[in-house]
Homo-oligomer: A and B are copies of this chain.
């Protein structure tokens, strides 16, 4: 039953025309008489013909694939970016192909190379800070490339993201404006995650400008999670108990911190103000206030994919646009009570 698949020749035969006419009729390309268009499309439907994109691609030198390279598949942030990409691509006839690097630059290069060999219509790559060889790869790919999440740097082609350093700076100022002075930093800054590093740098710089320096810093190489955040907070507080604010590298670990504080009876935010990053849905529902910076993750994916689609549409091999999306600081989140 898994017999050989139908080809264009079958459609042509069924419709009583040549392969070429059938091909054109199915794609609405070139000049074909209305009568033949009908006949061919009818025949194709009847015999259940599905085109072979592989043959098409080989002939065309182009595919309907969009490569997407992210550092982590299970991180909710990238899952949401992916959802945005999927949404933008959903009715376009393009298909995303996902590659995951696990924050490993060698794997990243390998993944990108593998994707390029498929000649995708475009590539969406996380981050702006690839090592030079990888950067070269992207530069000479000869197809639209959009780097996402970050705008602090120079993209090889297009770029959709947020100002990471500035996000850190802005939050530092906001915390100081709230009167916090004894501030600690807790981060899961994986080596490959330059965004977190930039935020932290911006944060510390702004503190310094206000004459404040971090009371303490605790950085872990493990992937971020609520559980990790809880453990790190316990550890941090065992070293520094005279704290009025904690800046975390993201919401996950900040939420873990909050859970510890609730168990330990530490009033949040009165005694310690906890600060995450991303503005996850979860944070809106928490039984205590934690501060965060909302980031447009879904929209980043959406926009990035749209840029690729536009370029593909114009048969351009460049995107050449830099899009900075706004973030929003929220120091009084919490469920409407």
**A residues lining the B interface (CB < 8 Å):** 1-2, 50-55, 57-58, 63, 65, 72-76, 78-80, 82-83, 86, 90, 95-100, 107, 113-119, 139-142, 225-227, 229-230, 255-256, 259-260, 262-263, 281-282, 284-287, 298, 317, 335, 337
Chain B: minimal CB distance from A2 (Å) = 3
Docked CA distance A263–B337 (Å): 9
Question: Residue on B with the closest CB to A82?
Answer: B73
Docked CA distance A270–B235 (Å): 30
Q: Name the contact of A97 in the complex, choosing from B58, B95, B117, B335 (C-beta under 8 A).
A: B95
* 7 further A-B pairs in the complex, CB-CB below 8 A; given A95-B115, A225-B281: A1-B139, A2-B140, A54-B58, A83-B100, A95-B99, A255-B282, A262-B262
B50→A54 contact, CB < 8 A: no
Docked CA distance A98–B301 (Å): 15
Docked CA distance A284–B58 (Å): 50
The complex is assembled from copies of this chain, and their number is: 2
A54→B119 contact, CB < 8 A: yes
A83→B76 contact, CB < 8 A: no
- Give me 12 A-to-B residue pairs in the complex whose CB atoms sit less than 8 angstroms apart, sorted by A's number: A50-B116, A58-B58, A73-B82, A78-B79, A86-B98, A86-B100, A95-B97, A95-B99, A95-B114, A97-B98, A226-B282, A263-B287
Q: Name the contact of A53 in the complex, choosing from B100, B117, B141, B284 (C-beta under 8 A).
A: B117
Docked CA distance A236–B107 (Å): 48
A335→B83 contact, CB < 8 A: no
